[in-house]
Structure 1
Amino acid sequence: MPRKSLPLGPETLGLIEDARIDLLRAALAVRDDDSEPEFDLPEDMPDLEDEDAVHAFREQAIKILSEFDPDELRPTETRSRRIRALASGKGVTSLETIVAQKLDHERAAEFEDQPDPLCRSIWVFLNARETFEDAESFHFARQFRDHRKLYDAFEVDLENAAPLNAASIDETALSDRIKKALELKPAISCTVRALDLPKTDAHPASIMLIVRHGGPLSSVYNHRHDGRRAAIYYRPPNEATLIYTPSLQQIEVCADSPLVRQQVSDTFAEVALNHDISQKPLTWKRYNLTRFRSSLALERPALDGYDISSARVLEAEVRLGHWRRKLLLKVTIDDDIEEVADQYLGARNVFRRAERFSRIGIAVVYSRAGDATERTLNITISGTKSCNLQSHKDPEERSLGFMLLQEWGILSAFRQIDPTDLRAMFAELIKLHDRVEDEVTGQYLRELGLDAQRLIEGGLLERRDRQDVVLIEDCDIDGEGAVKPSEKPGMVRAEGPFGEEAGDVPADDLDKYSINEEWLHETILRLLKPLLTRRGAQQNLDPDLTLLGAMEIGGAEVPLYFARRLNDLKTVERLDLAMRARNQAGVGIVLSASEDMPSHLGPNVVVSLLSNIAPAEEEFAVVRDGLELAFRSNFALARGGATPQVLRSGKQSATVHIPGKDPLNLTGAEQISIFERLVAASKAGSPDVQVKQLMDGLGSRSPQQAFRSKTWESILNVYIAKGEKRGYWRLVTEQSPSVNAPEGKVEEPV
């Protein structure tokens, strides 16, 4: 069999070809789940010195595994990749470092007896799985900065820093506090492991903390052998990895959730460092390098107590389309870096149109008031979250550096937004979160009444670049215009397509910002939590739909959901299908971020959040009585109502209500017309409608063509079915049961 036709992945094949065969067989025999296949490899091992017999064993292993489908081999490929990652390059050092800390003398000696790195990696995977997983976390820990959206760096201001190592950290106490901070249920375990990271050429000595806990309950649909779907509920494993570098007084943390990153960091600072974050909160600093797109020159700011004689950029690094490709320009303090770039790289060089600056080096020449000594402060900023200032031993010099970065508009320090302020801007945050685009302009924020700088400091926004075109709506100019510098401070000049003057525009209006969707989502959910009588069951059912928990109405618990983008018909169709599939939860409430929305999603009442915002003096962000009133008013329709009916909520959206069935959302004029005709026929006492009459004037030839395939599968013989005669369709009601009809690609044409 040619190797290229093998179903085996490259990692599995590499393991089979390179590993010692006794360890190879043991690794391939691992099954982490009962659904994984058993390979039934030969149990009798040939003589390891017999090369022909060893080669035959490897070929037999390849032949046996080749009988399985690629999907069945995927878990083996994943395990092989993990094993091989710790058997080459820096993975070898990572494994050896953790083994030296975690294994006792006897087991460490057995590890050392293995003949090569691959055998050692397999041995640890088989005999010390927790140690293997810790080594994996250590191996990837130094790559945090490449994770970007999953990574944050905090700085902690310790007046009296005590010596700290992994052995001095109370893992149990830290685990209990983290579990409390994350509001984990008692049944969900949380483990903490502390490890010492030795000093390397690139990094000072540090302490690594690995926090593992169960995530929010989630579910997936499993396609069973009988063709039916069944939900499988599971709790995904979550992991947060924290690195504390004592010499920098810096905490770096990587986790999926921004809220988890902040809470784990705060808890570590309180428990392990004895730091009072209520008096001195952790400093979360972000560095914005986009200003250097327009100019690499720095003005000399006037700061009390200092005389700044010179401030120059000596080093600039940009990424060229891909993170691994970069261009670095370094000059001396006597050079003008802009002139050097223009002279040797051209007037329209890459630094003037850089997609992203990844490193900026600045030299500041200054003197202190009352001191004639001239000093130099070097500042190096790497990306958005790393700066060398914290490593400066002189606190006054650190303070000066941060003041300069703030003056130049490079530094934004994190400042938690007060809950009262969040309450006041709740409606605006809802509108921001409901957007389809993940970028907003300064003009949009101004129209909402939001302070961009405050949201940046609170972690809800990140500054991006500035628009280079502007839409001009003038009596003489209509279309896109170019943006040019203006003589007026704080303004830019708009220029028409043929160079026409179109007036000045506020520069802030053209600034672009990216929305930190995860942080904004969790901020909104925190404001909604007071509505809940039962918490801890939060599930992310869809990127646009979250199960919050339950609220009590009339002595019963009602499921409470939060949904956004319900003004988008495709989103409505997708979420309606998902909610009808989980109708066993009963009638619930869906809090909608959108103002244009359907009345129901599956067996759930949809209620507008913006219509139920509480007055500023109220304790909660949402009026609870308004939600209860909407729920009671629409409860009957959520159960199907008294008679079949189609209720329109817009030109392109409507809902079908049939007694005893979950409401069905319709999107598009064709779907609405089809069900209006079926409902009218059912009420008239002649439920069967000929397909020609049903599709008259519509763009489709059969009702199936008006629906997406998944939606059609979910409604066929549930809401719509073939009539008693061929070529007829009917509405499925309790009085008119469906006719079991086979599903075809296209039903009877007109």
Structure 2
Amino acid sequence: MARKASPIGPHVLALIEDARVDLARAALAVREGDNEPEFKLPEDVPDLADEEAVEAFRQALVETLSDFDRDDLRPAEQRSRRIRALAEKKGVTSLTTIVEQQLDVTRSQEFHRQPDELCRSIWAYLHEREAFEDAESFHFARQFRDHGKLYDAFEVELENQVALDAAAIDEKALASKIKGMLELKPEISCTVKALDLPATDTHPASIMLIVRHGGPLSSVYDHRQDGRRGTIYYRPPNEATLIYTPSMRQIEVCADSPVVRQTVSDSFAEVALGHDISQKPLTWKRYNLSRFRSSLLLQPPEIEGYAFEFARVIEAEIRLGTWRRKLQLKVTVDDDIQEVADRYLGARNIFRRAEAFSRITIAVAYNLIGDEKQRTLNITIAGTKSCNLQSKPDPEERSLGFALLKEWGILSAFRQIAHDDLRAIFPQLVQLHDRIEDEVSGSFLLELGLDPKRLIEGGLLERRDRQDVVLIEDDDVDGEGAVKPSATEGMVQAVGPFGEDVGKRPASDVEMFAVNAQWLHETLMRLMKPLLSKRAAQILDPDLTLVGAIQIDEADVPVYFARRLNDPKAAQRLDLMLRARDTAGVGIIFAASEEMPSHLGPNIVMPLLSHLASAGEEMLFARDGIELAYRDGLSLARGGVSPRVVRTGKQSGTLFIPGREPLHLAGNDQLTIFERLVVAAAKGSPDVQVKALMEGFESRSPQQAFRKETWDSIRDVYIGKGAKNGYWRLLLTEQPTEAVAEPTEEATV
């Protein structure tokens, strides 16, 4: 007989096996909510010196927990994972640093009296939870440097060096500033905690700020004991961690939202550093090392006031598949690194085929015009966001280094796009946000009339590799062609499927860019704010956001923003969500897509770009047109006056039944099924035999035309069994379904 697999996770098991048993039991006995089970663990902890009794107690803990399933044990497993993270490797240093910062001498001594790292981590979790959580924030902040989606580094140009430590920071003033800039509601608290971080072998002395505040109201579905579905509303905790390194004049910040990262950094610079953001915005730099794929050679540019002897790459490092594997090549300043790589690694060496460079060091020899003294400058770029130039004490040296990187196409600096400029390109940004893919080509951006360099500077795009395949359509070749380098600057060579030359194309057309979807989404939300009478941003789905309410006829009408509604699957998913969601009456959904359903749930869908105001108007949107469209669609949103199916495309449409929320239909099968049921209901003979209902379709039952979640939501609401087995009918409010026994199998067509 096969042995049943243990439900206990690896982190809980490690805690039981490795920690002192009294601490292990105490950690596993923690309950952080009434929904967590009470394990009723053995209480008589044995004498710690009695090894046999201790081992028996550990086994008793395992046996007790084995009676629970994995879902019951999941919270304990997550807590154990957190505890172990601060008991291993750099987690130990993070926890010790924060404990020594926050605890008094007595509590700190108690912490250090614990027998090992794991026991110290458990003790801190049990007795000093706030310090434990701050240590987690510190630990993750260092790790987030390798996660571009959560991390940004800003550089601040201070006229005078500011002597600063954690005690000098006005935490309440900074929290108030951040709360105001994020436009948090009065009932949402925001706290700031400042800590001094001592210098280590790898990091200079720094100051860490932990910012915590409530996020936008959100909700999840809850399966109740009676089998019905309910909704639980909650406000998730948001956190941002900021590290300021005075010697480098660098602000590093980790947070989920790019807007929060910038807001927290700007607030810190203003309140703590006395920096005028309006005059000197924080510099957000990105370093693009892709140019070194084709060559490791650099030509000194012409910069006024400087004469250059040479500029040479003396170190290049690439990652091999994963971040843990790397290949590094270092040479002297007298060597040609390209020649060394070709000689010892081969003409087609790995540096030429590198997927990504993680480190480049450049040596520059130069002199000032009119000055005979030879000077040198070493520039080291690590990844996309780190460079040693900001730590240079000489401002002229820093300025020269950044100028060189910009001339070589390595550096792009963040520059906030002006509000008026964003308004001018609002339609193009909406189209960009509506794309299914999160990567876009240079040629597509050209069609939209967008400047990729400006969007990169504004944080909306990030540069990626170029396309390796293009579509070729001419008289002789029709299909995909490969993209190869060209000897002509700014051009690439297109090669047909059989190696034929099909001409050159601008390199900018085949460049690929990643859309910073979160930053783009928040930019669009910011531009829509003036339209709203109430603002309540809540992301319900990656493709649907509740943005607030607009007042029409003295009533607050919910306003949503949706994208990708031209995808039938996305539209039906959102329709199902909105019909299951309690709403405050008929709402408006602004759609980014041109093709869209007319209604989703009890809401009227409007194309956002059809309601833009004329150029020169103060408001971006025309309110009169929005109100008129809302009133026109209000009757149908409530079901209309008679049952009908309205097609809005070849594969999409909406079912309207008086007194019911409109039902979005996707695909010809769904549309035809309900069209036949509507016709039968209008004739007074509502029951339709399944054979007639499914005529011309491969499927034999209407259920097979819908996804399970959709079918479960419409069965016995919009469609139900007829008076006899094998018949279906449209369900009307005044015509309930007759009780019919459920057949075991659908009647054969």
* Residues in 1 aligned to 2:325 and 2:3: alpha-carbon distance in whole angstroms: 33
Q: How many pairs were matched up?
A: 749
Task: Give CA deviations for 1:273-312 in whole Å, capped at 9, x if unaligned.
Answer: 1111111100000011111112211122011000112111
Shift of 1:513: 0.8
Aligned to 2:92, what secondary structure does the other structure show?
Answer: helix
| Counterpart check, 1:418 vs 2:418 | yes
* Residues in 2 aligned to 1:440 and 1:743: alpha-carbon distance in whole angstroms: 51
* Residues in 2 aligned to 1:42 and 1:468: alpha-carbon distance in whole angstroms: 63
Contact 1:565 1:594 in 2 (8 A): yes
Contact 1:644 1:657 in 2 (8 A): yes
- 1:654-669 paired onto structure 2 within 5 Å: 654-669=653-668
Task: Give CA deviations for 1:100-154 in whole Å, capped at 9, x if unaligned.
Answer: 1111222222222222222221111111110110111122222121121111000
Shift of 1:583: 4.2
- 1:351-750 paired onto structure 2 within 5 Å: 351-535=351-535, 537-739=536-738, 747-750=746-749
- 1:140-289 paired onto structure 2 within 5 Å: 140-289=140-289
* Residues in 2 aligned to 1:587 and 1:433: alpha-carbon distance in whole angstroms: 25
Contact 1:218 1:539 in 2 (8 A): yes
Contact 1:491 1:506 in 2 (8 A): yes
Task: Give CA deviations for 1:306-325 in whole Å, capped at 9, x if unaligned.
Answer: 01121111111111111211
Higher mean C-alpha displacement, 703-712 vs 730-739: 730-739
Shift of 1:26: 1.5
Against the structure 1 CA distance between its residues 633 and 363, is the aligned structure 2 distance closer, same or farther, given a 3 Å change threshold? same
* Residues in 2 aligned to 1:95 and 1:742: alpha-carbon distance in whole angstroms: 64
* Residues in 1 aligned to 2:115 and 2:652: alpha-carbon distance in whole angstroms: 68
* Residues in 2 aligned to 1:63 and 1:493: alpha-carbon distance in whole angstroms: 67
Q: Partner letter of residue 161 of structure 1?
A: Q
Task: Give CA deviations for 1:404-449 in whole Å, capped at 9, x if unaligned.
Answer: 0000111001000000000000000000000011111111111111
Task: Give CA deviations for 1:493-520 in whole Å, capped at 9, x if unaligned.
Answer: 3333344332332221111111110000
* Residues in 2 aligned to 1:340 and 1:488: alpha-carbon distance in whole angstroms: 26
Shift of 1:463: 1.1
The residue aligned with 2:312 is 312
The residue aligned with 2:120 is 120
Aligned to 2:149, what secondary structure does the other structure show?
Answer: helix
Q: Partner letter of residue 81 of structure 1?
A: R
Against the structure 1 CA distance between its residues 743 and 577, is the aligned structure 2 distance closer, same or farther, given a 3 Å change threshold? farther
* Residues in 2 aligned to 1:496 and 1:698: alpha-carbon distance in whole angstroms: 42
Task: Give CA deviations for 1:57-84 in whole Å, capped at 9, x if unaligned.
Answer: 1111111111000111010011111112
Contact 2:111 2:123 in 1 (8 A): yes
The residue aligned with 2:110 is 110
* Residues in 2 aligned to 1:307 and 1:740: alpha-carbon distance in whole angstroms: 92
Q: Which runs of 5+ in 2 are unaligned?
A: none
Contact 1:670 1:699 in 2 (8 A): no
Contact 1:381 1:387 in 2 (8 A): yes
Aligned to 1:465, what secondary structure does the other structure show?
Answer: coil
* Residues in 2 aligned to 1:622 and 1:150: alpha-carbon distance in whole angstroms: 33
Shift of 1:744: 7.9
Shift of 1:205: 0.4
Contact 2:287 2:412 in 1 (8 A): yes
Shift of 1:742: 7.4
Against the structure 1 CA distance between its residues 247 and 51, is the aligned structure 2 distance closer, same or farther, given a 3 Å change threshold? same
Contact 2:434 2:592 in 1 (8 A): yes
Task: Give CA deviations for 1:539-567 in whole Å, capped at 9, x if unaligned.
Answer: 11000000001110010000000000000
Higher mean C-alpha displacement, 584-593 vs 637-646: 584-593
Contact 1:721 1:741 in 2 (8 A): no
- 1:61-76 paired onto structure 2 within 5 Å: 61-76=61-76
Contact 1:722 1:738 in 2 (8 A): yes
Against the structure 1 CA distance between its residues 302 and 50, is the aligned structure 2 distance closer, same or farther, given a 3 Å change threshold? same
* Residues in 1 aligned to 2:3 and 2:501: alpha-carbon distance in whole angstroms: 67
Contact 1:192 1:209 in 2 (8 A): yes
Aligned to 2:323, what secondary structure does the other structure show?
Answer: strand
The residue aligned with 1:344 is 344
Shift of 1:20: 1.8
Aligned to 1:143, what secondary structure does the other structure show?
Answer: helix
Shift of 1:89: 2.1
The residue aligned with 2:23 is 23
Shift of 1:605: 0.3
Contact 2:725 2:743 in 1 (8 A): no
Task: Give CA deviations for 1:668-722 in whole Å, capped at 9, x if unaligned.
Answer: 1110110000000001100000011101111210000000000000000000000
Q: Partner letter of residue 413 of structure 1?
A: A
Question: What CA RMSD, in Å, does the superposition of the two structures yield over aligned residues?
Answer: 1.6
Q: Which runs of 5+ in 1 are unaligned?
A: none
Task: Give CA deviations for 1:368-392 in whole Å, capped at 9, x if unaligned.
Answer: 1111111111111111111011011
The residue aligned with 2:5 is 5
Give the TM-score, by structure 1 length. Answer: 0.98
Q: Partner letter of residue 68 of structure 1?
A: F
Give the TM-score, by structure 2 length. Answer: 0.98
Task: Give CA deviations for 1:207-242 in whole Å, capped at 9, x if unaligned.
Answer: 010001111111111111211111111111111000
Higher mean C-alpha displacement, 643-652 vs 291-300: 291-300
Q: Percent same amino acid at aligned positions?
A: 69
Shift of 1:352: 1.4
Shift of 1:341: 1.7
* Residues in 1 aligned to 2:742 and 2:371: alpha-carbon distance in whole angstroms: 88
Q: Partner letter of residue 650 of structure 2?
A: K
Contact 1:705 1:746 in 2 (8 A): no
* Residues in 1 aligned to 2:94 and 2:440: alpha-carbon distance in whole angstroms: 42
| Counterpart check, 1:39 vs 2:39 | yes
* Residues in 1 aligned to 2:556 and 2:328: alpha-carbon distance in whole angstroms: 61
Task: Give CA deviations for 1:465-509 in whole Å, capped at 9, x if unaligned.
Answer: 222332221112222233344454433333333443323322211
Shift of 1:180: 0.8
Higher mean C-alpha displacement, 551-560 vs 501-510: 501-510
* Residues in 2 aligned to 1:463 and 1:93: alpha-carbon distance in whole angstroms: 36
Against the structure 1 CA distance between its residues 3 and 186, is the aligned structure 2 distance closer, same or farther, given a 3 Å change threshold? farther
* Residues in 1 aligned to 2:602 and 2:147: alpha-carbon distance in whole angstroms: 40
* Residues in 1 aligned to 2:555 and 2:269: alpha-carbon distance in whole angstroms: 42
The residue aligned with 2:60 is 60
Contact 2:586 2:602 in 1 (8 A): yes
Contact 2:725 2:740 in 1 (8 A): no
Contact 1:717 1:739 in 2 (8 A): no
* Residues in 1 aligned to 2:252 and 2:499: alpha-carbon distance in whole angstroms: 50
Q: Partner letter of residue 186 of structure 2?
A: P
Contact 1:287 1:384 in 2 (8 A): yes
Against the structure 1 CA distance between its residues 698 and 4, is the aligned structure 2 distance closer, same or farther, given a 3 Å change threshold? closer
Contact 1:156 1:250 in 2 (8 A): yes
The residue aligned with 2:299 is 299
Q: Partner letter of residue 278 of structure 1?
A: S
* Residues in 1 aligned to 2:739 and 2:430: alpha-carbon distance in whole angstroms: 45
Higher mean C-alpha displacement, 415-424 vs 76-85: 76-85
